[in-house]
Amino acid sequence: MKSGDPKNIAVYPGSFDPVTSGHIDIIQRAKPFFYSLHILVAENPSKSTLFSIDERVEMIKSATSAEKNIIVSSFSGLVVDYARKVNAKAIVRGLRAVSDFDYEFQMATMNRRLAPDIETIFFTTRGKFFYISSSMIKSIAQNGGDISSFVPESIEQKIINKFK
């Protein structure tokens, strides 16, 4: 299936608390393979987040405003259910380090069991982003450090303001 085919849809799920330059890199690299890419902000009740679901959706919209055919939304439930709802053929996941692979492989295997017609596609993070995580960004910002090279410029101040 070609990226120009409107049926070629993928979902990129995550908590994005906050969205990082690494997340944006995965979005930009995955986008050419699909007609549209749904960025799915996960509502995970077992996870404590700094930003509300609406704030996270808004930050991603702000950070991806120049991208075409990007749809940002939130969803509570199974990613495969959302993927089916939008007729996605793939779930995009980013891998930073070997430690990510075990969890991501288990998740991909379970998703394949639940939805055999939806593929999981992994993108490895570029070297300049592999050490960046949302939790590290929050820690740096909380302690007054410079996060400008780790997050999109459009959301940097929103993160800093959370800790004032």
Q: Mean pLDDT score of the chain, rounded to an integer?
A: 92
Count other Cβ atoms within 10 Å, centred on residue 159: 22
pLDDT tens track for 121-162: 999 988 888 888 999 999 999 999 999 999 999 999 999 999
- Residue 60 token pair: 């991603």
Residue 127 burial (C-beta neighbours within 10 Å; 0-12, 13-18, 19+): exposed
Please state, for a pLDDT cut of 70, what percent of the chain lies above it. Answer: 98
Q: What residues form DSSP beta bridges with 92?
A: 121
Question: What residue has token string 């799920």?
Answer: 13
What is the pLDDT, as a whole number, of residue 2?
55
Catalytic site positions: 23, 47, 96, 134
For 9-130, CATH number?
A: 3.40.50.620
The C-alpha atoms of residue 55 and residue 45 are separated, in whole angstroms, by 16
Residue 4's pLDDT band, with cuts at 50, 70 and 90, is confident
**DSSP characters over 107-142:** HHHHHHHH-TTSEEEEEEPPTTTTT--HHHHHHHHH
